[in-house]
A and B are shown apart, each in its own frame.
Chain A
Amino acid sequence: MKRELVKYLLLVAAAVSMPYFFSDGYMMNVLVFVGINTMLAVALNLLLGFAGQISLGHAGFFGLGAYISGVLTATHQVNPWLAMLIAAIAVSFLAFLIGFPILKLKGHYLAMATLGLGIIIYIVFNEAVDITGGPSGLSGIPNLALGSLVFDNDVKNYCLVWTFTIVTILLAVNLAHSRIGRALRAIHDSEVAARVMGVNVRLLKVQIFALSAFISAVAGSLYAHVMTFAAPASFGFHFSVELVTMVIIGGLGSIYGSLFGATLLTLLPELLRTFQDYDIIIYGLILILVTMFMPGGLVQGIPSLLGALLPKKKEGRG
C-alpha cells in the first residue's frame, strides 16, 4: 500500500507542476485532453482489464454524458454542475439496465453487442437534430464555474479536468486493491470458480459496467463544458476503438497503465505534426511496435526497456 501512496503522490506532484512548465496555452489544451482520455481509459480498464469484459461502445457513454450535459445547460439553462450529475446518473442507470442482457454475452458476441450500442447512440446524436443539433453539433454550452471563478481558459480547464482525473485514479486504484478488485480479476479468469466462491458474477459485472459508464459520462460532461461545443464525430466507433487501444497499449489491468496509454495516444498525433502527411504512418508503426515488443503494455514494457538500455553490470559473455 505504501508503494501505491508514493506512486499516487508522484502523480499529483507531476500534475500540479505541469502549468509551471508549459506556459503556452496550446500544450495546456493538449493536456486537458490527456486528462479526459485518462479518465475514459481508466473507466474502460476497470471493465476490460479487470473484469475482462470488452466494450466497443464506450465512446457512446462519453458522448451521452457530453450531450445530456450540453442539452440541459445550453437549451434548458440548468446549472452545469447539476447537469453533470444528472448526466452521470442517467448514463450509469442506462448502462445498468442494458448491462443485464448484454453482459450475459461473452467474447466476440459482447464486442458485437457493445459495438451496436455505440453505433445506435451515435446515430441518435446525428438524427435527433431538434435536440442535438445533428451533424453540425450543439454549441453554446456554458463553462463550468465555482462562484466567480469561471473555467474559461486553458490553464483553468487543466486544473478542473485534472482534479477529476486524479480523483478518478484514486478511486480506481482503491477499487483495484479491494475485495471487489480481486473479485473482478477472478471473474476475468474463471466465472464459474468466482461464482462458487460466492461472488455474484452477474450483478458485479453489471455494476462495474455501470460504474465505468458513470466515469465516462462525467468525462463527457467535462468535455462538453470545456469545449462549449459537442458534435457527433467525436463520439463515433473510431473513438471507442481508440479507447480500447489506450487501455491495451498502457497495460490491461493497470490503472497507471491507462494513464500512460491515454497520454501516449493523445500526445503522439500532436508530436507527429512535424511529419505532416506521414504522421498517420508513423503513428501506426509506433502502435504496432509497442504491441509487438511490449505485450504487457507500457507499464511493463518501459521498465524492462530501461533495464535493457542502461549499462549492464559486467557479466561474462560466453
Chain B
Amino acid sequence: MLKIKNINTYYGQVHALKNVSIHLARGEIVTLIGANGAGKTTVLNSISAVTPVRNGEILFNTSPAHSLSPDRVVGMGISQVPEGRQVFKPLTVEDNLELGAYLRIRKREGRGVIRQSLEEVYTLFPRLKERRKQLAGTLSGGEQQMLAIGRALMAQPLLLLLDEPSMGLAPLVVQEIFTVLKNLRSEKGTTILLVEQNAKAALKMADRGYVLETGKVILEGLASELLENKEVQRAYLGKEKKEIWER
C-alpha cells in the first residue's frame, strides 16, 4: 500500500533521513521506534509532504506521493495525527472534527454523509460527544488525543499516520487509545503507521516494526521478534540497564 524507497530529507544542512526505506501492506499496523531526534517524525512529515524529501520515492498504491502538496496527500487517503495533538484549541470539538472533513466538504459530499462520519467518531470516542460544544483547549490531554485521532478519521483515510499518541498520557488512557486503533484496523481495515517512544506498548500492538537511529533504519522485523531482540531490549525497552550501568 505504501512504499518508501530510499528517501533523503534535509533540514537546511542537516541530513535528517538517510536512505530510509519502509513499506506497509494493506491492513498492517507498523510501528517506527527510535530515540529522540532519530527522524521518526520526519518520516511522517515526509509522507505528509509537510517537509519535502530531496530525493527518493514515496509510492501510495503505486502512485507517487513525494512531489505532491500536503492537501493532495490528504486527498489520496493519508491522514496524520500530528505530534503533541495540535488540536485547534479556540475551536469547538465539533468544528475540529468538521475540519478533518475539509476536503470532503469541498468535494461537495452531502451533509448527511459527513454527519454519519461524525457519529462514527462519536461511537469510537463517546467522551467527545459529551463535549462536542466545548472548546478543544478545555479538554484533558487524553481527550485532546482522541479528538486529534477523530479529526484525522473524518477524512476517511486509508492510511493513518500517528505521531506519538501516548505522549504525556496516563497508561490507562494509552491503553484505551491503542484498543481503539486495533479495532479500527479489524473493523475498517485502516492501515496504521505508528511512531512511538513507548516502544513496548507499540511493539505489542503492531505487526511489524522498524528501528530508526540518527536518520537510518538499523533494524526491521516482526514486532514479536523485535520485542525479543537483545539490542532492542537494551536500547529501547530498558532491560539489562543495570548491566550497562555496572560496566
Q: Which residues of A contact B (CB under 8 A)?
A: 179, 182-183, 185-186, 188-190, 192-201
Contact = CB atoms under 8 A, between A and B. Distances in A.
A179 B102 contact: yes
A155 to B, nearest CB: 42
B50 to A, nearest CB: 6
Interface in B65-98: 69-71, 74-75, 79-80, 82, 86-91, 95, 98
Given A192-B86, A198-B70, A198-B74, A185 B106 contact: no
A195 B71 contact: yes
Given A195-B70, A198-B71, A198-B74, A182 B48 contact: no
Contact of A197 (B69, B74, B89, B90): B74
A200 B88 contact: no
Nearest to A199: B102
A193 B70 contact: no
B155 A198 contact: yes
Contacts of A190: 86, 88
Contact of B105 (A179, A196, A201): A179
B151 interface: yes
A189 B144 CA distance: 15
Contacts of B95: 182, 185
Contact of B88 (A179, A193, A196, A198): A193
Contacts of B75: 198
A197 B102 contact: yes
Contacts of B35: none
B150 interface: no
Contact of A186 (B50, B82, B91): B91
Contact of B98 (A182, A194, A198, A199): A182
**Of residues A196, A197, A198, which shows the largest number of chain B Cβ atoms within 10 Å of its Cβ?**
A196
Nearest to B151: A197
28 contacts: A179-B98, A179-B106, A182-B95, A182-B98, A185-B90, A189-B88, A189-B89, A189-B90, A189-B91, A190-B86, A192-B50, A192-B86, A193-B82, A193-B86, A193-B87, A195-B70, A196-B48, A196-B50, A196-B74, A197-B74, A197-B99, A197-B151, A198-B71, A198-B74, A198-B75, A199-B102, A200-B70, A200-B71
A183 B106 CA distance: 11
Instruction: Provide the main secondary structure of the chain A interface.
Output: helix
Contact of A196 (B70, B90, B98, B106): B70
A198 B90 contact: no
A259 to B, nearest CB: 21
Contacts of A197: 74, 99-100, 102, 151, 155
Given A179-B98, A192-B82, A198 B91 contact: no
Contacts of B71: 195, 198-200
B237 interface: no
Nearest to B51: A192
A175 to B, nearest CB: 14
Contacts of B69: 200
A196 B102 contact: no
A46 B151 CA distance: 24
B103 interface: yes
A185 B88 contact: yes
A185 B152 CA distance: 17
A303 to B, nearest CB: 18
Given A199-B99, A200-B70, 11 more contacts: A179-B102, A179-B105, A189-B90, A189-B91, A190-B86, A192-B50, A194-B88, A196-B82, A196-B152, A197-B99, A197-B102
B50 A182 contact: no
A190 B103 CA distance: 18
Nearest to A181: B95
Contacts of B105: 179
Interface string B13-47: 00000000000000000000000000000000000
A147 B69 CA distance: 50
Contacts of B106: 179
Contacts of B99: 182-183, 186, 194, 197, 199
Contacts of B102: 179, 182-183, 197-199
B193 to A, nearest CB: 13
Nearest to B79: A196
Given A179-B106, A182-B95, A190-B88, A195 B50 contact: yes
A189 B88 CA distance: 6
